[in-house]
C-alpha cells in the first residue's frame, strides 16, 4: 500500500518538461489544423492530451505543469513558450513555432517527431479528432466542466497529477502514480545535475 505523498518533497521536483517534445506534439496538432490554430484552443487541446495520457497510460506526454485559470485548465510551460515568457525567443520551440499578435499559433518549420512514441501520437491524434473541430466556446465550456478545474477568480490554482487521477475516477492509483512520477523526476534531476 502506498502512503500519503510527502508534498513538501514533491514540490522540490518540478516536472521534467521537454521543450523539444512539446514542440513536436504541438506541431502534430498544428499540421492537423492546416498549419495554424488559435492559441487558447491549442493550450486546451494540449491539456486534454496530458489529461487523457495520465488517465489512460498513467504517465504524461509533455510532463508540463497544470493550472486552473479563469478560462479553464492549461499546460503552463507550453502557454509560456507560446507567449514567449519562457526560454527566451531562440530555443527549440521558437525555431519551429510562432504566435502572431492575433492569437494564432503557426508551424514555421518541422521539428520532427523523434521524441514522441507511437502511443503518444495516437493520443494526440485522438484528441484532435474528438475536440479539434469544436468551436472555441464549445471547447472552453468542455474544459470548464472538467472535474479538476476550479474557478481561481483572477488568479491561478495548481492542478496536481494526483488530482487529475482522482477526479478522473482513478483514485485507487492516484497516489501510486504521482509517487512514481516523483521518483522519475527526482532521478532525472539527479542525473541532469552532472
Question: Which three cell numbers mark 24?
Answer: 513536436
Q: What share of the chain is helix, strand, coil (3-state, %, to 5)?
A: 50, 10, 35
The conformational region for residue 157 under phi > 0 = left, psi -120 to 50 = alpha, else beta, is beta
Which pLDDT score is estimated for 78? 92
- Report yes or no on 47 lying in a domain: yes
- Report yes or no on 2 lying in a domain: no
Over range 105-112, report the average pLDDT: 95
Q: What total of structural domains would you count in the chain? A: 1
- Report yes or no on 138 lying in a domain: yes
- pLDDT higher than 80, residue 183: no
- Range in 3-7, 142-146, 171-175 the model is least confident about: 3-7
- Range in 4-13, 26-35, 67-76, 179-188 the model is least confident about: 4-13
The conformational region for residue 54 under phi > 0 = left, psi -120 to 50 = alpha, else beta, is alpha
Mapping DSSP to helix (H, G, I), strand (E, B) and coil, where does residue 3 land? Answer: coil
Give the domain extent around 71.
Answer: 17-170
First to last CA, the chain: 34
- Report yes or no on 194 lying in a domain: no
Q: What pTM value is reported for the model? A: 0.82
pLDDT tens, position by position, 43-58: 999 999 999 998 888 8
- Report yes or no on 1 lying in a domain: no
Q: How confident is the model at residue 8 (pLDDT cuts 50, 70, 90)?
A: very low
- Report yes or no on 193 lying in a domain: no
- Report yes or no on 45 lying in a domain: yes
Averaged confidence pLDDT in the chain? 82
Amino acid at each position: 500500500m502506498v502512503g500519503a505523498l510527502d508534498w513538501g518533497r514533491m514540490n522540490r521536483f518540478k516536472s521534467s518538461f521537454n521543450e523539444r517534445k512539446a514542440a513536436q506534439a504541438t506541431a502534430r496538432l498544428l499540421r492537423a489544423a492546416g498549419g495554424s490554430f488559435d492559441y487558447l484552443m491549442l493550450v486546451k487541446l494540449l491539456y486534454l492530451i496530458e489529461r487523457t495520457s495520465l488517465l489512460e497510460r498513467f504517465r504524461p506526454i509533455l510532463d508540463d505543469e497544470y493550472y486552473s485559470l479563469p478560462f479553464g485548465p492549461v499546460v503552463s510551460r507550453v502557454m509560456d513558450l507560446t507567449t514567449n515568457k519562457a526560454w527566451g525567443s531562440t530555443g527549440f520551440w521558437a525555431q519551429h513555432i510562432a504566435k502572431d499578435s492575433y492569437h494564432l499559433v503557426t508551424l514555421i518549420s518541422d521539428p520532427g517527431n523523434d521524441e514522441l512514441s507511437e502511443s503518444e501520437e495516437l493520443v494526440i491524434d485522438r484528441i484532435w479528432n474528438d475536440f479539434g473541430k469544436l468551436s472555441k466556446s464549445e471547447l472552453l465550456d468542455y474544459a470548464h466542466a472538467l472535474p479538476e478545474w476550479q474557478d481561481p477568480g483572477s488568479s491561478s490554482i495548481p492542478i496536481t497529477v494526483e488530482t487529475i487521477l482522482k477526479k478522473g475516477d482513478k483514485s485507487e492509483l492516484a497516489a501510486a502514480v504521482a509517487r512514481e512520477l516523483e521518483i522519475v523526476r527526482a532521478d532525472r534531476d539527479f542525473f541532469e545535475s552532472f
